[in-house]
Amino acid sequence: MRFNSEKDFWLGLLIWIPIGGGFIGSLVSEGWLIKIIMFATVIFVGWIWFGTSYIISEEILIIRCGPFSERIKIKDIKSIKKTRNLLSSAALSIDRIEIKYGYSGMTLISPEDRVQFVGLILKKNNNINIKI
């Protein structure tokens, strides 16, 4: 099952206003290089903004963030807890969940429907310590 990332409005403004301003500014400039760089930047950030999701398959949690992806075996997940940690991650909201897995793995995500997400993970591995 696929879960989209929750997106904070303020984070969208923080990201898109400067990029949009830079892109518009590049359109009125004379150099082609800056136009190409800004167009590539808009595409890359858009890919991350619209392409961040979390997929739960039978045995694996797949975290996608634009061109980046991470695969975590659901049986290796040790704990899931609510957090507001600001570390860089595949989360587009400040309301996040921290997933600890394996020996020392940790990732932060922000699924739109946390309750359904955690419930589905628990169905596949009921040995997870939950603090939501």
* Contact by Cβ (8 Å): 81, 130: yes
Longest dimension (CA), the chain: 60
Predicted confidence pLDDT, tens digits, the chain (132 residues)? 999 999 999 999 999 999 999 999 998 888 899 999 999 999 999 999 999 999 999 999 999 999 999 999 999 999 999 999 888 899 999 999 999 999 999 999 999 999 999 999 999 999 999 998
Structural domains present in the chain: 1-132 (2.30.29.30)
Q: Tell me, what's the pLDDT at 30? A: 85
Predicted TM-score of the model (pTM)? 0.89
pLDDT mean across residues, the chain? 94
CA atoms in the 13 A half-sphere facing the CB of 122: 13
Tokens standing for residue 127: 């040995």
Q: How far apart are the first and last CA of the chain?
A: 20
In 3D space, the residue among 111, 126, 131, 128 whose CA is nearest the CA of residue 55 turns out to be 111
Euclidean distance between CA atoms 107 and 41, whole angstroms: 25
